[in-house]
Amino acid sequence: MSGIADILFVRFRVEDLARQHKFLSDFGFAVEEVDGRLLGRGTDPTRYTYVAEEGDPGFIALGFEAKTQGDLERIAALDGAAVEELSLPGGGLGARLQDPDGNAVEVVFGIEKPQPLTAPVRQPLNFGDDRQRLGERVSFRPGLPSTIVKRLGHCVLNVGDFRTSEAWYKQRFGLLTSDEIYVGEEDNSIGAFMRCNHGERHVDHHTLFLLGTGTPEFNHAAFEVADWDTLMLSHDLLQEQGYEHRWGVGKHLLGSQVFDYWKDPHGFTLEHFTDGDLMNESFGSHKAPVEQLLGSHWGPAGAP
């Protein structure tokens, strides 16, 4: 079983906090600035899912929430890391580890959970013979709420050596492979989609994807939104604001998410997604060729 409840946040350095603040707001976060840091949260009761501080642009850390304080202490002890009080709003305890590529990985517990925010709501859908919206129009007026991000769903890291990184994350966090990616022969694996193991409870198809490119690098972080209409309305807003579109809109083969990728003003890729697969322990682990990683049910195939 996983010692972590879920992925919780990503942390960055950016050179222009004001510019980043505007992007995060346009992207659909509720944003506040506290002690020189930007904190972005979604509609779920989580104090923050995105943190940025001022400095030379860079990826700082990936954060996971431990299930219990005991799990936090056990995970920290594997690397001899100290468990300390967190300095960000919401309090709690945390330990900072370092993965094989030098990325900081923060494990936290006990952060105060705020009240959920108002999430986008739309009328029921009509599916073929299953007609659920009767006698009413679809309407988005007066428009989307300012916060459309729900939560952080997953993070993707390019790693120096896939097997080394895979073993490190699995040992500490009890992650399960959902789909292992290979090139050519099945034993030539280059990466894996990994999920939390909560037994029979269903979780996201992947919480972390490691891709063995040989060059360690942040790839992207993916934030869930409520539904297809929310994603598309936000797509239009971001396009109108002149942000750089990266990839999408499409529907992944592995994980099934509807996806839409954007570059922030500092070059980091953030994704909106919705309608992803949910798996439990009994789903097991599978293998898939790289063509499925790059393919789509519909929309653009092949990552840019």
C-alpha–C-alpha distance, residues 228 and 160, integer Å: 35
Identify whether 278 is part of a domain: yes
Instruction: Read off the pLDDT of residues 205-229 as tens digits, 9 standing for 90 and up.
Output: 999 999 999 999 999 999 999 999 9
- Look at residue 262 and tell me if it is in a domain: yes
The answer to whether position 123 is within a domain reads no
In a domain, 127, yes or no: no
CATH of the domain at 176: 3.10.180.10
Q: What is the pTM assigned to this prediction?
A: 0.97
Which tokens in the block code for residue 184?
């050519």
Instruction: Report the pLDDT averaged over residues 236-263.
Output: 97
Is 124 inside any structural domain?
Answer: no
143 pLDDT above the threshold of 70: no
pLDDT digits (tens, 9 = 90+) for 160-184: 999 999 999 999 999 999 999 999 9
pLDDT at residue 26 tops 90: yes
Q: What's the token pair of residue 152?
A: 């952080």
Q: Is residue 138 part of a domain?
A: no
Q: Which domain holds residue 67?
A: 4-114+148-296
Question: 155 has which bridge partners?
Answer: 208, 221
If one counts the domains in the chain, the total is: 1
How many percent of the chain have pLDDT more than 70?
A: 99
What's the CA gap between 11 and 15, in Å, rounded?
Answer: 14
pLDDT at res. 175? 98
Counting other chains too, the contacts that 113-118 makes at CB distance below 8 Å and 24 or more residues apart are: 113/45, 113/46, 113/47, 114/41, 114/45, 114/46, 114/47, 114/90, 115/45, 116/43, 116/44, 116/45, 117/30, 117/41, 117/42, 117/43, 117/145, 117/147, 118/43, 118/145, 118/147
The verdict on residue 79 lying in a domain is: yes
CA angle 190, 196, 199 (to 5 degrees): 125
* 128 within domain boundaries: no
Beta-carbon count within 10 A of 61 CB: 16
Report the pLDDT value the prediction gives residue 225, as an integer from 0 to 100.
Answer: 97
